[in-house]
Amino acid sequence: MYVEDTLITESNTFYRKIISIKDGTDFLEFIDTITYNEKIFLRKYLNLTLFIDSDLEKIIKFETSLKTNKIEKTKRDLIQDLKISTYDIECYLNENNLFIPFACGWFTKGEKPLINNEKSNECKLYYLTDYENSEKMLLASLNDLIRKNPGTVYVHNLSRFDSIFLTKILYDNFKVKPIYKDSKILSLTVEIIDGQKFKMVLKDSLLLLNSSLRSLGKDYNVQNLKGVFPYKFPNSMNLNYIGNKPDFSFYNDITIKEYEDIPKNEWNLKSETLKYLKNDLLCLHEVLISFSNDIFNLENINIIKYGTISSIAWNSFKANYLKDDLYQIKGPIHIKIRNAFIGGRVDVFKTICENGYLYDVNSLYPYCMLKDMPVGIPVYTNDKNLDNYFGIVFANITAPLNLKYPPLPYKSENKLLFNPVGSFSGWYSSEELKFVRDHYGYTIDVIAGLNFERGKDVFSNYVSKYYNIKSKKDLTTKINRSSAKLLLNSLFGWTGLNIYQSKSAIVSPSNAAQIENKHPIFNSFIINNELEFIKFDPYTILPHYVEENSLDEVKMPVEISKYLDQSLPVAIAVTAYARMHMNLLILELEKNGYTIYYTDTDCIVVDKPLDDKYIGKDLGLLKLEQEFSIGIFCAPKLYYLKTKNKDNNGNYIEIKKAKGLTKGSLQYDDYMNILKGEKVRKDRYKQ
């Protein structure tokens, strides 16, 4: 072997070849570059760069670019698609606590003008007493609807509720092609051939507009507002009821005045149900048309192409604002750095507060998206100097033992999240590690990490545009403020989606058995004799399957859904910036004599009003959300407030938070008992 050098003097670069003496063929080729101090030189071979100390004859560090997928722009739509219909089901709760459909209906906007140039809109309603059973009622409605070729049919809460009743009927009587994200239905494409081909696509409007229909109707100022209805009144025995109006106790979320305005006599359950159902259908349709107009007029995006509000926001951004190079990171490194993707700070510092104040940050995540973002192809390196990084690093960390409010979270192997003192290790945003080092005295020993280019104003145009509309700074852009708020707050959500998600599928019983034998199962149920729904983890293979099939190594599948072109580094940066923002606020308030009781991502509870410098309408500033007389903070996402505001009936408004429980299921005494360590049992209806 011998070395053949080619020197480029201007750049102190050697192109070196190691050549075989025997046959003169190239054995190895690499590039050496002498650095400014002539002691360190860089050796580049393929995708790897070595930093070598020539005196010590030692590799100081290495760098290698990762293989990534570039996020491409979305094509803008030229023509708006307004072929939108709505469908709804009304249910009663039977003696076995099962929901039984007793009415349903649909509304579709006709395509052909009538003589008076109005479109042939059609609304058709169905009631259980006109049919043998609920299944036949639902089938009749779907058969009628699909023959209208209604386009995209939105059902408010299809994924979580209405699909329970529709799934079996659809699969028994139609050809169905489902698309799931995790366990949520993004769409059900339904077809039937009856002389000709009829088709419709069912989607969940709640995944676009995550509010009650009553709130949406008010927000979008529609003509057909959602009415009031005694949900607890209907049952299998009274569907033909005519008489006095039901008692006030049968209604939910209704004021005494609203109840008094309902006529007392000759109240007909069937006619009231169908009137209420029709109003719901028209209300939802008006909201969807208004929302569709907003999105198309501002971004040239058709809402019917997407299943969730975050996908609409993400594709609006990609179609009209994407200018920096964002990349999707895949493979084992994706799994590792996902540990750096930690949510906002949620902590209880003191459990009982009298006469307190709850403040919210104005659009915390959008505010953080105005900051520098990790862009470009990431470089993996074992550089030990934290200040050389802008990205994500793995480090050994030591937190001072005397910290009152330790700011840095730690995610354990069993996914528990807490803020420790002492020594621990993990993946973190480089900027958050610099923050805790400089403000709290943490010791950071970097092992390795990913380095990115520093992107300026990556999301600024998008965020500023929609925040100005939401906050009424921009009064000229013709868009509903609710649409602007949705687009503003939903963009971040897509960036952190897990590309390795659980998989949901409709399969034959034999295929379901094979999946159950190989993978962990989260949920499954029988649709009919030929089909089963199954939700499973496709990335984990059960130990007995590995042993029985003599598998030496279980590899992570490499295929990734085309729907998840997200940017995990952006999500990690945004959540880190958000925690830094709240921790800096906590640090300042503590120094200024405030008592802090609770914090939850973008809110903070304190014992006295905040200084005016913290308050304002700009992004990142705070607003007073609640002033309360008593607050009970049992645990993260579990607290009670008795506010100083009164409802329409003159009662003080209570705020009861209990993640995972039905809204309002816990009362004041329950929170106090939990605080005392007592067990509190609450039952809730389940389908």
Find out whether 46 and 36 touch, Cβ atoms under 8 Å.
no
Q: Where are the domains of the chain?
A: 2-65, 84-301, 503-548
Instruction: Compute how many other C-beta atoms are within 10 angstroms of the C-beta atom of residue 643.
Output: 18
CA nearest to 566, candidates 493, 503, 502, 494:
494
| Residue-level pLDDT at 681 | 85
Residues 438-488 pLDDT 10s: 999 999 999 999 999 999 999 999 999 999 999 888 888 888 999 999 999
Higher local confidence (pLDDT), 507 or 139: 139
Instruction: Compute how many other C-beta atoms are within 10 angstroms of the C-beta atom of residue 229.
Output: 22
Distance from the first to the final alpha carbon of the chain: 76
**Residue 643 pLDDT > 90:** yes
**Residue 7 pLDDT > 70:** no
The pLDDT-based confidence of 15 (bands split at 50, 70, 90) is low
In the numeric block, the tokens 């590690």 are attached to: 433
**Residue 126 pLDDT > 60:** yes
As given in the structure block, the two tokens for residue 355 are 């006469």
Residues 272-300 pLDDT 10s: 999 999 999 999 999 999 999 999 999 99
* CATH architecture label of 84-301: 2-Layer Sandwich (3.30)
Higher local confidence (pLDDT), 122 or 324: 122
Find out whether 337 and 329 touch, Cβ atoms under 8 Å.
yes
Distant-in-sequence contacts of 266-271, Cβ < 8 A, 24+ apart: 266/242, 267/241, 267/242, 267/243, 268/241, 268/242, 269/233, 269/234, 269/238, 269/239, 269/240, 269/241, 269/242, 270/127, 270/129, 270/239, 270/240
| Residue-level pLDDT at 446 | 96
Helix, strand, coil percentages for the chain (3-state, nearest 5): 30, 30, 40
Q: How far is CA 482 from CA 196, 266, 407, in A?
A: 41, 39, 34
The pLDDT-based confidence of 562 (bands split at 50, 70, 90) is very low
Q: What mean pLDDT is predicted for residues 257-275? A: 91
Residues 300-321 pLDDT 10s: 999 999 999 999 999 999 999 9
- Tell me the three-class secondary structure of 233-270, residue by residue: CCCCCCCCCEECCCCHHHCCCCCHHHHHCCCCCCEEHH
| Residue-level pLDDT at 34 | 61
In whole angstroms, give the CA distance from residue 68 to residue 328: 6
In whole angstroms, give the CA distance from residue 420 to residue 408: 7
Residues 30-69 pLDDT 10s: 566 665 556 776 777 667 777 777 676 777 777 788 888 8
